Amino acid sequence: MKKRIPKATVGRLPLYLRCLTDLPPTQTTVSSEQLADMARVNAAKVRKDLSYMGSYGTRGVGYEAEHLRFQISRELGLTRDWRVAIVGVGNLGSALAGYAGFGERGFEIVGLFDAAPDRIGQQVNGLVIESVAGLEEAVAEREVAIGIVTAPAAFAQQAADGLVAGGVRSILNFAPTVLRVPPEVEVRRVDLSMELQILSYYLKSEF
């Protein structure tokens, strides 16, 4: 067991968790090889990744599926719920607000914020859209841990500033812009155009 889990490994733990969930309920143990095949990675990588959390496998047998599921969940901090706010309730923001997968996995949406006056007061998925004017206070009051930015690029930085001022330490940014945040805030970017441009590179090399 090592001091700290490498970033690359943290990025794969949710993947293993998903694979474990997809296992037939009758199967109680799983080998690194099977997990590797499901996750489409190398078996040695699976073993090394899992070993960072401690040694939960049995030599000659494999890993006890239910136990491993729990260990990964605990390591990822999924044994508690986290509150989430979405800033920017356009097409994408609405789609995310309606995504059932969040609630199931312990991410509770407790606020939808938008800047457009005609959007405010509308209801999406049981939540009333609020004005971004009250973002900071609402985030602080409701103890929001994660902010999702689906605002237009021009407004994304203000959205992030409001979230950070309210105490948010983690941001998932869908806006096509690079956010400036203090070093203690973790930002993950999901950028559609960038993904397509990367795919374009690999297409191009074929011709």
Which residue type does 98 have? G
**Taking CB under 8 A as the rule, does residue 180 contact its own copies?**
yes
**Taking CB under 7 A as the rule, does residue 43 contact DNA?**
yes
What is d(CA 89, CA 180) in angstroms, rounded to the nearest whole number?
A: 21
Q: Identify the residue among 27, 37, 61, 98 touching DNA (CB under 7 A).
A: 61
**Taking CB under 7 A as the rule, does residue 27 contact DNA?**
no
Question: And the tokens for 21?
Answer: 């969930």
Beta strands, E only, 6-94: 29-30, 57-58, 62-64, 82-87
What is d(CA 75, CA 46) in angstroms, rounded to the nearest whole number?
A: 15
Tell me how far apart the terminal alpha carbons of the chain are, to the nearest angstrom: 47
Of 43 and 78, which CB lies nearer to DNA in the complex structure? 43
User: Which residues sit at the interface with DNA, rule CB under 7 A?
Assistant: 1, 6-9, 30-33, 41-45, 47-48, 50-51, 55-63
User: Which residues sit at the interface with its own copies, rule CB under 8 A?
Assistant: 5, 10-11, 13-15, 17-19, 22, 38-40, 75-78, 82, 84, 90-92, 94-96, 98-99, 101-102, 105, 107, 145-146, 169-172, 176-178, 180, 186, 188, 190-206
